[in-house]
Amino acid sequence: MASKGLFISFEGSEGCGKSTQIERLSIRFRDSGREVVTLREPGGCPLGEKIRDLLKFDPAGAGMTAEAELLLFAASRAQLVREVIRPALERGAIVLCDRFLDSTTVYQGVARAIAPESVAFVNAFATGGTLPEVTLLLDLDAAEGRRRAACRKGPADRMEQEREEFYEAVRRGYLELAAAESSRIAVIDASGNVDEVGAAIAVTLSERLKGEFHGLL
């Protein structure tokens, strides 16, 4: 049975401005009277937040293999889908998620070079078929994203300590994925200021949202 809600995911590399845009969009949707659930991956539920800490900050993660990393991201997602996302969609809520399965396809599949069929299998198992209606890819030059990310917070976490090539592979991987799945993934130029990017997102969503969600923005 189709869910009553709306699921939108945001993707992009470090520093692309996802969290700011999610915040802005959640206000606009709430103003239109809808329930909005904002989530992040990894995380978004108690177990997921523990896994997030393991993946990003816990010293035990220092020697983490790419395979273990893939499975931990998937474990967080499997829990979030069943504990939070599906119930929210069943209630008719709008779910805005900061990263979802495309992060795994790109970071673990492309940048860490795990075989695409293994990543696809794990993604399918974790999501159990729950997919966003629309995914907004905030595209930004990798070096610029790193500069922005470095300005806004403290010490880099484990995922932010890779070489520049890693983040270039992430950007390339995202753009290739968006080209292959253009009916779901929309590319947004994230090089402008907050208002410009917000306006581009609103235009894209007004073109792509259907049914009762059409015209909500």
Cβ atoms 17, 136 nearer than 8 A = no
Using CB under 6 A as the binding rule, the residues of this chain from 15 to 34 that contact ligand TMP are none
CB of 92 to ligand TMP, least distance (A): 25
Region near ligand TMP per CB under 6 A, out of 25-33, 36-44, 176-184, 195-203 = 36-44
- Kindly tell me which of 3 and 77 has the beta carbon lying closer to ligand TMP: 77
* 146 scored as a contact of ligand TMP (CB under 6 A): no
Is residue 171 at the binding interface for ligand TMP, with CB under 6 A as the rule? no
What part of residues 38-57 is at the interface with ligand TMP (CB under 6 A)? 40-42
Q: Give the footprint of ligand TMP on residues 74-113 (CB under 6 A).
A: 99, 103-104, 107-108
Minimum Å gap between C-beta 1 and ligand TMP is 27
The DSSP H or E segment spanning 25 is: helix 18-31
Q: Which is nearer to ligand TMP, 18 or 36 (CB)?
A: 18
Interaction of residue 145 with ligand TMP, rule CB under 6 A? no
Burial class (CB in 10 A: 0-12, 13-18, 19+), 53: middle
Helix (H, G, I), strand (E, B) or coil at 186: strand
**Shortest CB 113 distance to ligand TMP, Å:** 13
The Cα–Cα gap between 168 and 142 comes to 6
The least CB distance from residue 15 to ligand TMP, in Å, is 9
Burial of 58 (0-12, 13-18, 19+ CB in 10 A): middle
Cα 75 from Cα 37, distance rounded (Å): 20
Confirm or reject binding of residue 198 to ligand TMP (CB under 6 A): no
Hey, what are 128's tokens? 């159990």
Sign of CA dihedral 178, 179, 185, 188: positive
Q: Where along the sequence are the contacts to ligand TMP (CB under 6 A)?
A: 14, 40-42, 73, 99, 103-104, 107-108, 159
